[in-house]
Amino acid sequence: MKETSIDIKDLQLNALLEVTQAVNNNLPEDDLLKIYKFTLLADLKINKLALYAQQKGEWVCRVNFGTKNNLMGEKLPEKYRELENQMGLTETSFDEFNSVFPVYHKNKILSVVFIESDNELGIQNRFLNALTNIILVAIENKRLARQQMEQEAYRRELEIAKKVQNFLFPKELPKIERLQIEAYYLPHHDVGGDYYDYIQIDENKFLACIADVSGKGVPAALLMSNFQASLRALVRQTKDLLEIVTELNHTTFVSGNAENFITFFAGIYDFKTKKLEYINCGHNEIVLRHGDKIELLNDGTTVLGMFDPLPFIETKFLEGLDEFFLFTYTDGLTETFNEADEAFEFDRLLEILKGDCPHDLTELHNIILEALHAFKGAKPFHDDITMLSCRIQNK
């Protein structure tokens, strides 16, 4: 028996009520699409349908029923992604359908719907368009609300990380005749994973260090803040550099779940004995300049947080250091790329350090930065950049 226009209106009203109620109940996205699907099947007597909409930036089939082949997850052909009006179908891949139409909201295309139905297409498609619009606008609003909540949560997390990171770096660095320390720090993001420090151990000894955590942003900054707190606590308990590094490795291994690691260089200088003890934990090549002699400080162990216990570890002692210059940095410096995708690399840095290094360490850092900017041209930085320089005059 053929349905009258009154019957069709009743079915459409029931469908509208069901969908509206589902939206008002704030159901999850998948549940909304299921209700939409079963409403079309039960109330609107649509035989076949495929609804394509964007999901994670891709146009894919989100609702499908009645077709011989399962289209769920299939990508929408390019030609339909800017469809303006309803059209008939002759394409073989969609020969099960007799019509396709776009669904717009505020001049933005939300979906493309393929249908096959025995009912009057013009009236039915107008209602189906409205019903689809209600569902997809609700889903779009949910997505925007979720995105806003995630952004707000990230903003709060970022603010906390910034406050935490402000406590990472020493407030003041020594600038006296026998000891000058200068630092430069440029985070790639609002917060970064680089860290440097200066810790006065006693009247004769101090520790200077630099570190770089794998990863970027808030997680890297939080892991590094835990690392800094552990280091400062350990230095209060012991002056044994091997013991300090062993404990730092264990802490990083546990807090990073063996998934994150930290490269680290630390040196302890004794003004009384004129000895420098150092350890390099998988960090970059550190430059020591003593008179006209350049020495690279590479001995130590592997990165921290990857293995527990460390597979090997040793510290090195350099004696008779009364006047010297120590330059440390993170790999964001040497791994800066130019427009030809060439890295700045250590050799270019070393040539600068082999030259006539100015007595003023700020000036030295500026010379390096000028060379870096000239090298990279318009290419942006892609990592944090940190430099820590130390000049000793102990005669």
pLDDT in tens, the chain (395 residues): 445 554 556 555 666 666 666 666 777 778 888 877 877 776 666 788 898 988 888 899 998 988 888 999 999 988 888 777 656 555 556 788 888 888 887 788 888 888 887 655 444 667 777 777 777 777 777 777 788 887 887 677 667 666 666 667 888 999 999 999 999 998 876 666 789 999 999 999 999 999 999 877 677 777 888 899 899 999 999 999 999 999 999 999 998 777 789 999 999 999 999 999 999 999 999 999 998 899 999 999 999 999 999 999 999 999 999 999 999 999 999 999 999 999 999 999 999 999 887 889 999 999 999 999 999 999 988 888 999 999 999 98
* Alpha-carbon gap, residue 219 to 65, rounded angstroms: 44
CA distance readout (Å), 66 to 40, 50, 125, 183, 196: 11, 9, 17, 67, 64
Q: What is the pLDDT of residue 43?
A: 63
Q: Interior CA angle at 187 toward 364 and 198, to 5°? A: 60
For residue 359, the 8-state DSSP code is S
Q: What is the pLDDT of residue 14?
A: 63
Q: What is the pLDDT of residue 88?
A: 54
Q: What is the pLDDT of residue 18?
A: 65
Which of 146, 135, 147, 12 minimizes the C-alpha distance to 63? 135
Q: What is the pLDDT of residue 157?
A: 67
Q: What is the pLDDT of residue 47?
A: 82
* Alpha-carbon gap, residue 196 to 227, rounded angstroms: 11
Tokens matching residue 56: 């994670």
Q: How many residues does the chain have?
A: 395
- To the question of pTM greater than 0.85 for the whole model, the response is no
| Burial zone of 328 (CB within 10 Å; 0-12 exposed, 13-18 middle, 19+ buried) | buried
The answer to whether residues 97 and 118 touch, using CB atoms and an 8 Å cutoff, is no
- CA-based radius of gyration for the chain: 32
Q: What is the pLDDT of residue 12?
A: 59
The answer to whether residues 178 and 206 touch, using CB atoms and an 8 Å cutoff, is no
Q: What is the pLDDT of residue 285?
A: 95
Which of 38, 42, 64, 39 minimizes the C-alpha distance to 53? 64
The 10s digit of each residue's pLDDT in 242-297 is: 999 999 999 999 987 777 899 999 999 999 999 999 999 999 999 999 988 999 99
Residue with tokens 């995630």: 150
* Alpha-carbon gap, residue 294 to 324, rounded angstroms: 10
Whether residue 219 has a cis bond before it, omega within 30° of 0: no
Q: What is the pLDDT of residue 303?
A: 96
Q: What is the pLDDT of residue 1?
A: 43
Beta bridge partners of residue 213, listed in sequence order: 262
Which of 263, 287, 174 minimizes the C-alpha distance to 210? 263
* Alpha-carbon gap, residue 42 to 46, rounded angstroms: 8
For residue 80, the 8-state DSSP code is G
